[in-house]
Structure 1
Amino acid sequence: MLGIDLVIVLFGLGVGILVGLTGIGGGSLMTPLLVLFAGISPVVAIGTDLAYGAVTKTLGGWKHWRSGTVDMGVSKWLAVGSVPGSLLGVVAVDLLHERYGKGFDKVLLAGIAVALVIVAVTILTRALFMPKLVERERDTVELTNRVRGGAAGIGLVLGFVVGLTSVGSGALIGLALILIFRLTPHRVVGTDVFHAAILLWSAGLAHWVGGNVDFGLMGTILIGSLPGVWIGTHLLPRVPAAGLRPALGCVLLASALGVSTKAGLELPAYGILAPPLLIGAAAFLLQRRRSRLAVRPTTEVAPA
């Protein structure tokens, strides 16, 4: 472990910056990194990831709250569902691991890989194929009974997924904030990070009670992630999300393919790297074409 401490610190730094910038990337990236490169068992990787993420996103959530980019009403009602949902997810993973032992690890890894694919596809779809959603964005949401109930229900389902796999506290909740609540980008990131802090504290504490948290590993990650999230929140107003989100989606897809090999899927190295690289290249060309069309001057033809 001592030989890779610096690597884990750097993992924490990079993931922390992404969390501060986008609200996405905590569990979706750190759990696969711990499993693939640090050799941590899936259950401990999930528990440690959620525990460190609670601290990291608390710092980020506080920064966003101070900046006024948090919709407190939506955050509260999401948490009404996501906190009990995450506890149910933790109970489920503990019961399954207790019953099936290490034989459950491959099933859990497959579940993480599937969750990562879903997260990657949702991020890429939003970034590349839903540009018109920008026209419907708003700064705040009116809390009708329907909105409250919908937020609690979404929180319950996605909280369960987070408690079970540690994946989705940023990406899936963020997608709901975009598609269903139609918040502006900065409010999406701020509300997402603030709510995730609440969700991850409940799930992280539950995993700690279950003995799934490696506090030494958690401390090593925090050395990098705390300054990382601080840097990310400061960079947020300066970095265009248009290019960052597709890149993150491609990284998550590569992580999903890498984790799937640990679950038993036989893939050569090019089978892991080629799909994300091809999608990334296509995303770059699409974004470049859109930028050119956006700045192309319009010419008017004078009437004859």
Structure 2
Amino acid sequence: MLTLFLIGIGAGLLAGLLGVGGGVLMVPVLVGLGVSPIQAFGTSNLAIVITSIAGTWQNWRSGNLQAASIWQLGLPAIATAQLGVWIAQKLSAATLLLGIAGLYLLNIFLVELRQWLNRSREKAIDQQPRPTLAAIVLTGSLGGILAGLFGIGGGTLMVPLQVLLMGVPIKTAVQTSLGVIIVTACSALTGYAIAGDVLWREGLWLGLGGLLGVQVTTRLLPKLPSLLVQRCFQLLLLTFAIYFIWKAQNP
């Protein structure tokens, strides 16, 4: 339980810094501890609910929360999260592990894309157009599918899509994503709980650690050297992707 609590703290640090639910760290740890992939996804969503609520509460207290944007993205995510849960329950453990490994490799590129988009937005002079309904629905729907399918909250995709498709500043996208993750994780958690694929005690300890960790980075987000954090995060993703590929071949 102490190990899970410490891992939860690390996941919370990532959640507040990058606008993700922390599942990118919690899922591989659970799998490494011998939990099946499907239970790791379900348990991760429980911890993500706790972590994202804590981070969003801090953003709200700081005046950095746009409730309208959260619900615009969250409503389509509710249904698609259930779709992700359904797909996950139909796939084999090896397929799920290879799928999340591919997602982690994609996220290495997405983190780089986010930084490039951020620099482009800062240099832009013209005001960005209002996001279209299609962009909002697509961003929320894809985030929901990832939350249900891989138990990672969906923020890893929602943040760059908000910047790319909706013209949202990077820090605003991070803060909004953390709020949307509450909706996606709750929806996905319901589906996994009904199927009996949630380890409640383990998820609670992860979530309590995340609650502590997210308080740090939601306060320090504007002050941290982003390039160093970005490279460390990408290295972490690459390590976990290699591990999942190995695990899929050696169950």
Q: Could you tell me the TM-score, scaled by structure 1's length?
A: 0.76
| Aligned match for 1:153, one of 138, 143, 155 | 138
Partner of 2:229: 244
Unaligned runs of 5+ in 1: 98-103, 266-304
Match 1:256 to one of 238, 241, 245: 241
Q: Among 40, 45, 49, which residue is 2:40 paired with?
A: 45
Size of the alignment, in residue pairs? Answer: 251
Q: Deviations over 1:48-74 (max 9, x none)?
A: 001110111011112112222233333
Relative CO higher for 1 or 2, CA cutoff 8 Å, sep ≥ 6? 2
Deviations 1:21-58 (A, max 9, x none): 2213612221112112x111100000000111011101
- The answer to whether the Cα contact below 8 Å between 1:26 and 1:170 also exists between their aligned partners in 2 is no
2:58 counterpart of 1:63: yes
Are residue 180 (structure 1) and residue 176 (structure 2) matched? no
Identity %: 27
- Aligned residue in 1 for 2:179: 194
Task: For residues 58-106 of structure 1, give each alpha carbon's deviation from its aligned partner in whole angstroms, at most 9, with x where no partner exists.
Answer: 1111211222223333322211211100011112222x15xxxxxx111
Retained in 1: the 8 A contact 2:104–2:237?
Answer: yes
From the CA coordinates, give the structure whose radius of gyration is larger: 1
**Aligned counterpart for 1:90 among listed residues 85, 92, 114:** 85
Q: Do structure 1's residue 74 and structure 2's residue 59 form an aligned pair?
A: no
Q: Is contact 1:138–1:184 with CA below 8 Å preserved after alignment? A: no
Which residue pairs with 2:10 in the alignment? 14
Structure 2 residue aligned with 1:282:
none
Q: Is the 8 A contact 1:128 1:246 kept in 2?
A: no
Residue 218 of structure 1 aligns with an amino acid whose one-letter code is G
Query: How far off its partner does 1:137 sit?
Result: 9.1
Q: Residues 115-148 of structure 1: CA distance to partner in whole angstroms, max 9, x if unpaired? A: 11111221133336873233249999736xxx22
CA distance, structure 1, for counterparts of residue 184 and residue 213 of structure 2:
20
1:74 partner letter? S
The within-5 A match list for 1:209-248 is: 209-248=194-233
TM-score calculated relative to the size of structure 2 = 0.90
User: RMSD of aligned C-alpha atoms?
Assistant: 2.4
For 2:62 and 2:128, how far apart are their aligned partners in 1?
A: 15
Kindly indicate whether residue 131 of structure 2 is the aligned counterpart of residue 135 of structure 1.
no
Gapped regions of structure 2 (runs ≥ 5): none
